[in-house]
């Protein structure tokens, strides 16, 4: 039977009174040896104990970054390549030529973005692109690996590079954001935003930990860099686990029809609708175009008498509705930050009498009116 572990203290002033805790000058932090023999390291930045990485964990991490078909133990460069000569005509002479081996292929984890607004910054890019995966961080700081490119005058040229922690995030970001408006409803002269996979030779893909023997051969600096990579990888893995907890794909099945209805606020102002007779159809079409990327839509309704700028989207699947909330929540639409949430059935929103649905129609009436149509779609 495994020994019962005493709670780990989380206040640094309590560390001195705990016999399990000692300060390591080498690691520059506190270490804790638990009753079951496991070792833990104090991560001051997040005030959290994390398990000390073992050699076995390091090997697992190296295997996770291996490229199929590439022998990681093979030498990076062939030292000698012998070329046989005609022994009968030339004797036993040989020539030795140095030849570089082909570089090892690395899995790409970066996206390159073009046609961005002139006033965008790294924080806004992080807010949008972190919806599709954990963004990697610099080894020497917690700064996200986001690079904004400038022109010769030093101004932002509308292009950026973002490095994700896992390669799966690259294709997801491309599928969801390529050829869309960075800020919903804000169209740029350069056209919609383009999101591409970055060149696989990008230098960030080479930040992999050296093996123990290689690090020792290269000296103290290489060994220290290896430890940095291992520690940062462990931090990002912990963050990835937290991010997965919010993944809509991990949600359980639900039978509630309200889980399929998303309410979007701050989508328009009444002044905009009054000034442009085509605004209602344009906004509805923009929302439809974005939401169709997330799942099948049963209905979109714009409530043109609501000062909060309300648009409701009814999906045929609750998972698509959660993906919509994740994609729209916090995004900017014509200088307004969108609020996205799931309906609970108690809402009552108003529409113009001249439009289909009457002067006042709640989410519940809207849902009931479309229930038969939705069921037929779901059955198909």
d(CA 84, CA 78): 17
Ordered per-residue pLDDT tens for the chain, 380 residues: 556 778 888 888 888 888 889 888 887 888 888 888 888 888 888 888 888 876 676 676 667 666 666 565 655 444 444 444 455 556 554 444 445 555 566 789 999 999 999 999 999 999 889 888 889 888 777 789 999 999 989 899 999 999 998 898 999 889 888 888 888 767 888 889 999 998 755 544 444 544 555 555 555 555 556 666 676 677 666 666 555 544 444 444 444 668 899 999 999 999 999 999 899 999 999 999 999 999 999 899 999 999 999 999 999 888 889 999 999 988 887 788 999 999 988 888 998 866 544 444 455 555 555 565 556 555 65
Question: 336: part of which helix (H) or strand (E)?
Answer: strand 336-337
Among residues 205, 202, 208, which one has the least CA distance to residue 61? 208
Q: Is the pTM of this model over 0.85?
A: no
What is the reported pLDDT for 297? 93
H helix intervals, the chain: 55-64, 87-90, 122-129, 168-177, 212-218, 220-245, 270-275, 279-291, 318-328, 363-379
Neighbours of 239 (CB within 10 A): 15
What is the reported pLDDT for 186? 77
The owner of tokens 């104090």 is 42
């Amino acid at each position: 039977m495994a020994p019962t572990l005493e709670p780990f203290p989380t206040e640094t002033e309590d560390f001195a009174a705990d016999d399990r805790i000692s300060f390591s000058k080498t690691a520059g932090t506190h270490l804790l040896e638990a009753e079951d023999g496991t070792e833990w390291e104090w991560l001051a930045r997040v005030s959290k104990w994390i398990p000390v990485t073992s050699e076995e964990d390091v090997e697992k991490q190296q295997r996770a970054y291996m490229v199929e078909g590439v022998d990681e133990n093979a030498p990076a460069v062939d030292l000698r390549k012998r070329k046989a000569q005609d022994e009968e005509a030339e004797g036993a002479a040989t020539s030795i030529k140095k030849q570089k081996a082909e570089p090892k292929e690395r899995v790409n984890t970066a996206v390159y973005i073009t046609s961005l607004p002139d006033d965008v910054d790294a924080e806004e890019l992080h807010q949008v692109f972190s919806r599709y995966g954990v963004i990697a961080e610099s080894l020497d700081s917690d700064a996200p690996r986001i690079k904004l490119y400038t022109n010769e005058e030093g101004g932002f040229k509308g292009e950026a590079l973002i490095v994700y922690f896992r390669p799966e995030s690259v294709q997801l970001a491309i599928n969801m954001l390529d050829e869309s408006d960075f800020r919903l409803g804000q169209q740029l002269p350069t056209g919609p935003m383009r999101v591409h996979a970055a060149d696989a030779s990008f230098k960030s893909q080479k930040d992999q930990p050296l093996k123990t023997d290689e690090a020792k051969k290269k000296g103290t600096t290489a060994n220290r860099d290896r430890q940095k990579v291992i520690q940062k990888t462990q931090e990002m893995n912990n963050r990835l686990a937290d991010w997965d907890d919010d993944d809509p794909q991990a949600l359980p099945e639900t039978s509630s029809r309200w889980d399929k209805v998303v309410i979007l606020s701050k989508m328009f102002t009444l002044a905009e609708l009054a000034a442009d007779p085509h605004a209602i159809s344009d906004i509805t079409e923009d929302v439809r175009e974005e939401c169709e990327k997330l799942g099948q839509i049963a209905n979109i309704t714009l409530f043109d008498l609501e000062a909060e700028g309300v648009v409701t989207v009814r999906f045929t699947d609750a998972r698509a509705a959660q993906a919509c909330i994740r994609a729209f929540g916090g995004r900017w639409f014509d200088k307004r930050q969108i609020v996205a949430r799931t309906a609970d059935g108690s809402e009552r929103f108003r529409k113009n009498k001249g439009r289909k649905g009457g002067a006042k129609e709640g989410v519940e009436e809207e849902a009931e009116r479309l229930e038969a149509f939705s069921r037929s779609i779901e059955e198909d």
